Copies of this chain bind each other. A is one copy, B any other.
Amino acid sequence: MATWLTVMTGKSGRIFPGHRLSAAGGDATPQLGQTRLATRPRRPVVVARAGISGASRTRLTASCETAGMRITVLAGGVGAARFLRGLKAAAPDAEITVIGNTGDDISLFGLHVSPDLDTVLYTLGGGISEEQGWGRAEETFTVLHELAAYGAGPGWFALGDRDFATHIARTSMLRAGAPLSAVTRALSERWRPGVTLLPMTDDQVETRVTIDAGGDAGSRTVHFQEWWVRMRAAVPAVAITFSGAQAAAPAPGVLEAIAAADCVLLPPSNPVVSVGTILAVPGIEAALRAKTVVGVSPIIAGAPVRGMADACLAAIGVEATAAAVAAHYGAGLLDGWLVDDQDKPAVDDPRLAGIAVRALPLYMTDLAASAQIARSALSLAGELACRAS
């Protein structure tokens, strides 16, 4: 097994059940270079929820097995999917549950499209367009062209033929009365993503963006996809809301997966319209506050790695920096935070008191890089879980 995970003794209960202590030193020494675990100064971590602060840290290192380990991940689209691919490589025998954002879901041509759930399924199932990060590989666009010939809109959302099949299958099952969670389970049977993918809710939640229409036109509110895809988030958002969220319930299995998790990871997803949407479903954030939560910054050197998260952060008055995003989540939710080496000053940012921050390379340039980030997240979670125990 890999020797990358720092493992604590003295933990009670089943936190990282697969961990095996090994003889100290030798080949069991963790590869800490990339996570800078060994080099950065330590500071006390306040784990507010457990009422235990600065628990003494036994510096035993150990080899680690992730078999049977339960990891729950809150996922948006591309960033989450690539992180999950790394996580699967890092913890191939773990039980991974993914809670997917459905606020981006949209009805197009009368079909229910779930962009984030599909990106996770396609990526983990081997069907993703690697170039785009979303949509199907080897895609064709016959259906869309034909729909355009009928004058059926909208013209600004690209759906390929292979992708259409997913939406047809999903919509057909939904119309027959199946909840989205059951539909997602059915679609997963084909993709075999190696994780349990759950929508955050079976209820309808729609992310809406209020934009300044300019001049005397006042503001108007559009579906998130219209702002994101059609306007490319170039029109400033004055507000982002999650319509229906307050009345929504977590989908079956969501709270259970959080409760049973050894740790919860936040991939480098959009903090506002991916993770933020999931947190807006009543009960989910409260459940997370009782767990060890480690996040990966989607912002590197003041810019989103991908997408236009900065435009979303601006809408809620949060600076587009790795530190500001962590502060936005807050120490009540977040226990650990991975930032890129370029954002190393965040490690000692006073706004992040109570959050253990690690700096490491965060660009998911390939599977190896993604896996290393996932290992670092698990490593940090392991440390923090131990401190809290």
Interface residues of A (CB under 8 A from B): 109-111, 140, 142-147, 149-152, 161-162, 164-166, 168-169, 171-172, 175-176, 186-187, 189-190
Contacts and interface: CB of A to CB of B under 8 A. Distances in A.
Contacts of A168: 109-111, 143, 147, 152, 164, 168
Contact of A142 (B151, B165, B169, B186): B165
A262 to B, nearest CB: 32
A101 B243 CA distance: 43
Contact of A169 (B150, B161, B172, B190): B150
8 contacts: A110-B171, A110-B172, A140-B140, A142-B142, A142-B165, A143-B143, A147-B165, A150-B166
Contacts of A187: 150
A76 to B, nearest CB: 24
A187 to B, nearest CB: 7
A360 B144 CA distance: 45
B172 A109 contact: yes
A169 B150 CA distance: 8
Contacts of A109: 168-169, 172
Contact of A161 (B146, B166, B189, B190): B146
A287 B111 CA distance: 40
A149 B136 CA distance: 14
Given A140-B142, A142-B142, A152 B164 contact: no
A380 to B, nearest CB: 38
A351 to B, nearest CB: 47
A162 B145 CA distance: 9
Nearest to A140: B142
A107 to B, nearest CB: 9
A198 to B, nearest CB: 19
A172 to B, nearest CB: 3
Nearest to A146: B165
A164 B150 contact: no
Q: Which 10 A-B pairs have the closest CB atoms?
A: A146-B165, A110-B172, A142-B161, A150-B169, A143-B165, A152-B169, A147-B165, A110-B175, A109-B172, A109-B168
Contacts of A111: 168, 172
Contacts of A152: 168-169, 172
Nearest to A142: B161
Contacts of A165: 142-147, 149-150
Point out which of A109, A147, A164, A168 has the most chain B C-beta atoms below 10 A from its C-beta. Answer: A168
Nearest to A175: B110
A161 B175 contact: no
Contacts of A140: 140, 142, 161
Given A150-B186, A152-B169, 10 more contacts: A110-B168, A111-B168, A140-B140, A140-B142, A140-B161, A142-B162, A143-B161, A146-B162, A146-B164, A151-B189
A151 B175 CA distance: 17
A270 to B, nearest CB: 28
B169 A147 contact: yes
A161 B144 CA distance: 9
Nearest to A163: B146
A140 B189 CA distance: 25
